[in-house]
């Protein structure tokens, strides 16, 4: 918030990162320093179609901001400007006006900060995991996540999570912004994962949604080459992470299509899957419920590790064979449709190659 400077009415004309410029009643500019969080600024030229519309209408209908985001913007003196002057949400705009919306980060929020002292990403951690970034702009970053890395900091994983590695990557570029995961992946799951670089982008994507397509290696022979699993999922009593199909669980729907069926010593199939909901371990639980647990899934399958750490009878997978292969979404601000794809990782390709050769 602005600090009060005695003497005259103050009009905000600009506030940058850590600095505020105000104009007093004599027309003189005075600069004060503030410890402001980072922000994403969007400028919008008002057209004849929106002449006479309220500011809150423009923010909601043209920029896609939620009531919560607009309420947050109002807590900053320069959160909403028209032609360089602060306005209320009830004010109207005219054709030719320039509306500036500044979406500041909250000083406390559920995000991974870009402060070295907090992230503690060592050079060894960063070198062990080369980030494969498939898309990046000032609002979003999409990474092809390798299996074996947790998405965000958790118990036992501080400094080696994907979010923290992204923070380190941004710091090396001299950029400072938080990262928020938009639909996390389990540690064992590989593939595409999207991060928002500001709270507004994360908020908009949470409402507009993301189309996700997975590829998996599922055990057994499928009698139906496609289908839908509509079965509620809930926690297993007394267990922290394990889930089960239960009548008291949350609504969960998974669609699947068998891409190719493999026969041999151990029958399995390459399966394409789409989710209508996003429950913990949803694909793994639903495929096990269908009688086709994923190869390598020691939680929902019946595999044991051999002396090399691989899962016997699982196509020699070291993990549940699940890969986020495709993402499609509308960019939160440009409204451009973006489609991203990631090929199968080496461990899953190796299983398919061995099956083709047998």
Annotated active-site residue 224? The verdict is: no
CA distances from 255 to 231, 236, 260, 270, 273 (A): 11, 23, 16, 14, 6
What integer pLDDT is reported at residue 39 of this predicted model?
Answer: 82
Tell me how far CA of residue 153 lies from CA of 95, 100, 127, 200, in angstroms. Answer: 47, 34, 18, 22
Q: Which residues, including other chains, have CB under 8 Å from residue 135's CB and lie 6 or more apart?
A: 141, 142, 338, 340
Copy the structure tokens of residue 200.
């507004």
What pLDDT does 8 receive? 31
- Within 8 A by CB and 6+ apart from 290, the residues are 229
Task: Give the DSSP per-residue string, 213-225.
Answer: EEEEEEES--SSS
d(CA 83, CA 263): 68
Query: How confident is the model over 261-308, as pLDDT tens digits?
Result: 999 878 999 999 999 999 999 999 999 999 999 999 999 987 554 444
Residues 112, 163 contacting (CB under 8 angstroms): yes
Among candidate residues 50, 137, 186, 224, the one labeled active-site is 186
Question: What is the residue extent of each domain of the chain?
Answer: 11-104, 109-203, 210-358
3-state SS class at 205: helix
Q: What CATH class is the domain 109-203?
A: alpha beta
Predicted structure pTM score: 0.78
Question: Cβ(188)–Cβ(247) under 8 Å?
Answer: no
Place of tokens 């958790």: 154
Look up residue 62 and give its DSSP letter: I
> 154 and 200 in contact (C-beta within 8 Å)?
no
Which residues of the chain carry a pLDDT beneath 50?
1-25, 29-34, 108-111, 113-128, 305-314
Strand 253-262 and strand 268-275: the pairing is: antiparallel
Question: What span, in angstroms and rounded, lies between the C-alpha atoms of 254 and 277?
Answer: 8
Integer-rounded Cα Rg, in Å, for the chain is 25
CATH topology for the 210-358 domain: Pseudouridine synthase (3.30.2350)
**Residue 31: its pLDDT value, please?**
43
Sequence-distant (6+) residues with CB within 8 A of 305 are: 298, 311, 312
Predicted local distance difference test score (pLDDT) of residue 303: 56
**What pLDDT does 84 receive?**
93
Count of other CB atoms within 10 angstroms of residue 124: 9
Which CATH homologous superfamily contains domain 11-104?
RNA-binding S4 domain (3.10.290.10)
Is 210-358 the same fold as 109-203?
yes
What local confidence, expressed as pLDDT, does residue 44 receive?
93
How many Å apart are CA 217 and CA 92, to the nearest integer?
A: 56
Query: Contact at 8 Å (CB) between 212 and 274?
Result: yes
């Amino acid at each position: 918030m602005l600090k009060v400077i005695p003497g005259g009415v103050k009009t905000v004309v600009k506030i940058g990162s850590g600095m505020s410029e105000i104009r007093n009643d004599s027309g003189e500019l005075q600069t004060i320093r503030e410890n402001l969080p980072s922000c994403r600024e969007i400028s919008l030229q008002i057209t004849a179609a929106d002449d006479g519309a309220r500011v809150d209408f423009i923010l909601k209908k043209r920029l896609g901001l939620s009531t919560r985001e607009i309420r947050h913007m109002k807590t900053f003196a320069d959160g909403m400007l028209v032609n360089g002057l602060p306005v209320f949400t009830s004010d109207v705009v005219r054709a030719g006006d320039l509306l500036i919306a500044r979406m500041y980060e909250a000083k406390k929020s559920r995000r991974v900060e870009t402060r070295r002292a907090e992230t503690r990403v060592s050079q060894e951690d960063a070198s062990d995991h080369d980030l494969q970034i498939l898309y990046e702009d000032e609002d979003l970053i999409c990474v092809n996540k390798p299996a074996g890395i947790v998405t965000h900091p958790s118990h036992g994983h501080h400094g080696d999570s994907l979010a923290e590695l992204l923070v380190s990557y941004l710091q090396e570029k001299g950029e400072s912004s938080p990262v928020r995961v938009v639909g996390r992946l389990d540690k064992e799951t590989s593939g595409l994962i999207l991060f928002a670089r500001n709270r507004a982008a994360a908020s908009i994507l949470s409402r507009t949604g993301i189309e996700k397509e997975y590829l998996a290696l599922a055990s057994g022979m499928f009698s139906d080459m496609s289908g839908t699993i509509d079965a509620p999922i809930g926690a297993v009593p007394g267990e922290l992470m394990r889930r089960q199909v239960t009548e008291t669980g949350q609504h969960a729907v998974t669609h699947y299509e068998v891409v190719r069926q493999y026969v041999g010593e151990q029958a399995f199939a390459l399966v394409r899957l789409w989710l209508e909901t996003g429950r913990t371990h949803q694909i793994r639980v639903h495929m096990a419920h269908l009688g086709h647990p994923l190869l390598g899934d020691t939680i929902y399958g019946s595999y044991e590790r051999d002396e090399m750490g691989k899962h016997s009878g699982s196509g020699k997978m070291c993990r549940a064979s699940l890969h986020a292969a495709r993402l499609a979404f509308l960019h939160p601000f440009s409204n451009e449709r973006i489609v991203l794809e990631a090929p199968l990782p080496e461990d899953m390709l190796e299983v398919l190659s061995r099956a083709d050769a047998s």
